[in-house]
Amino acid sequence: MAVLLLCVIWRNRYEVIFSVYGFFQSPTKPKLTEIQSDRIVLEYAPSDYLTKTKIQSIQKILTQRFESAEKETGIKFSSRINVYLLNNWEQMGIMTKHVPLAQIDPDSNTLYYIVNKKMDGTNERLEYSLLFHEKFGKPALPDGDEIIAAALGGMWNQKTLNDWEQFLRARGLNPQFPLFLTDNHLISPYITKPWNAILSRFIKEKFGWSALFNLYKTAQLPAGYQNQWNAYLNQLPRPDQLPEYHFERQFQKGISYAYANGYDSGYPTQKSQKSLDILKDDGVGWIAAIPYGFMPEENAPVIGFARSSIFTESDEGVFAVVDDARAREMKVMLKPQIWVRGSWTGNIQFQSDASWDRWFHCYENWIIHYAIIAELTKIDLFCIGTELVETTLQKPDDWKRLILKIRNVYHGPIVYASNWGKEFEQIAFWSELDYIGLDNYYPVRDVATQDSSLARKAFEKQKEKIREVAMRLQKPVLFTEIGFVASDGAGMGPRESDYPSYNEQVQAEYYRLTFETYWNEPWFCGMYWWKWFSDPDDRGRNADRHSPSGRPAELVMKEWYQKETTCCRSHTIQ
């Protein structure tokens, strides 16, 4: 019960944060222009794309669609419909606290859409959902609003249902009914929602409108549906063959790009774009986008997905930061991580085989969700886990099976981010990956007063340990994380927090020693400094203690990232 309560609190945590934040500082809403007709009250945020002429065209199309939906369903709108047309995810988040492409508020008979040159939320056809609410109230069908709109409109998340069916079947992500209709919060919505919409469309076509209405109201499928559904699946054409993946190693001048929790400072915001501009000027070529999942405690075999709140690392936020990075000719490592309440991922382990199996089942569902996102965005590098020490050392065969499933979904390079020490040195599945990933926090000094000459020797000793692993496995090493706090404890590994006194010079010194130690090693393929926030105001003395932003360490990083390197070129590790 306690675990369940914690999960409920976690699922709603951003509603609480938004309310508290808004009490002290209300977000500045976008300036809107209103036009009205007999059917629609339309408010829009003017832009270079949403001109008056474009708005008039959209208003006409929406009116036609609303009338068509009424005729098709036999349900009438009882009042005018409120429509908001917004430019981007940030405006959607400010207006609604969430960042989907399109959403409804049935209580106020309102539709919200993002419309710009790249996306048109009006194609999601949420007017069907409003009509169903008008007639039947809240759906019993999980995610019923999106499902009904997609089933009747033929589109979900900017792809047609036929495209989704091809995409999922080609990667072995097949439907499981009636499971998808009940247990869908533990499975990727990029699997459940398209398949639920395809099934709902099938139910309407084979059993009629009354069966679809009943599915919406009760989440119950009609008797005898299974044989006809199986026949439908069996007659589908064979999916197109997926392209073969060829690995090509790349040197990565990276930074761990952390999400700043705020309605105007997370990934899908203008502030994040400014932060990326700074990094681009610093010579950063790669960012690690880091969405989180949640475990309420280390021995609870359950993993919660991020939701669509503006305050969290939503899927939409990932799409936004990938687009924004690529607009600046930067590449992206997608690096999903788990946050364990009151603990650390390295402590996750279980006493029974049943608990282990349940955890791996949950982890597979969770990481496959991000593998789908990696595939949809053609991500440049996918990190399949971070510092899950006991799981990798105790259950290597489970990880090998998981890697095969991930590769069936995502066709690009993969890495695992191991913790320094025994995990990095003992993992049994490095041969299955493209890079050896290391979160490099090996201590380089024992006491805060140690001089730099001793630190340099410690870095050389550290390098030999890492080089030995690379030579033994004949595989390049990537620092999936490395970093030093701006304090007297920099470089002391787990003991850094014992020395809280601010010291930005020693942080910069250890940045420089890292670059000098590894820069031209042929087996070394780069690093991601921990960490830099999407809020550019997180800078200088008051920045996060690990961040180089606005500190001398940033200048060191910029100096080296603007240099050429011979790293990562040799295919033979020597």
Assign 574 a pLDDT band (cuts: 50, 70, 90): low
Among candidate residues 237, 160, 229, 243, the one with its CA nearest the CA of residue 194: 160
CATH number of 252-561: 3.20.20.80
Assign 450 a pLDDT band (cuts: 50, 70, 90): confident
3-state secondary structure of 378: coil
Write down the pLDDT at residue 31. Answer: 95
Write down the pLDDT at residue 15. Answer: 46
CA 390 to chain centre: 24
Query: Quick one: which H or E segment has residue 459?
Result: helix 452-473
CA pair distance 149, 141, nearest whole angstrom? 13
Q: 304 near 259, Cβ under 8 Å?
A: no
Mean pLDDT, rounded, for 449-466: 89
Q: Is the pLDDT of residue 185 over 80?
A: no
Q: Is the pLDDT of residue 516 over 50?
A: yes
CA 105 to chain centre: 25
Q: Is the pLDDT of residue 1 over 60?
A: no
CA pair distance 158, 167, nearest whole angstrom? 13
Name the token pair of 196. Answer: 């639920």
Q: 488 near 533, Cβ under 8 Å?
A: no
Mean pLDDT, rounded, for 483-499: 92
CA pair distance 342, 361, nearest whole angstrom? 23
Report the percent of the chain where pLDDT is more than 90.
81
Assign 541 a pLDDT band (cuts: 50, 70, 90): very high
Q: How many CA atoms lie within 13 A of 91 on its CB side?
A: 20
Q: 21 near 314, Cβ under 8 Å?
A: no
CA pair distance 388, 337, nearest whole angstrom? 10
How confident is the model over 246-303, as pLDDT tens digits? Answer: 888 999 999 999 999 888 999 999 999 999 999 999 999 999 999 999 999 888 888 9
Mean pLDDT, rounded, for 393-403: 98
Among candidate residues 250, 386, 380, 264, the one with its CA nearest the CA of residue 322: 380
Q: Which residues contact 230 (CB under 8 A, 6 or more apart)?
A: none
Name the token pair of 310. Answer: 């503006």
Rounded to two decimals, the pTM is 0.94
Q: What kind of architecture, by CATH, is found in domain 31-138?
A: 3-Layer(aba) Sandwich (3.40)
**Secondary structure of 476-539 in the HEC alphabet?**
CEEEEEECCCCECCCCCHHHHHHCCCECHHHHHHHHHHHHHHHCCCCCEEEEEEEEEECCCCCC
Evaluate the omega torsion of the peptide bond into residue 531 and state whether it is cis, within 30 degrees of 0. yes
Amino acid at 540: G
Write down the pLDDT at residue 451. Answer: 74
Q: Is the pLDDT of residue 23 over 90?
A: no
**Secondary structure of 220-264 in the HEC alphabet?**
CCCCCHHHHHHHHHHCCCCCCCCCCCCCCCCCEEEEEEECCCCCC
Give span(s): CATH 3.40.30.160, the chain.
Answer: 31-138
Give span(s): CATH 3.20.20.80, the chain.
Answer: 252-561
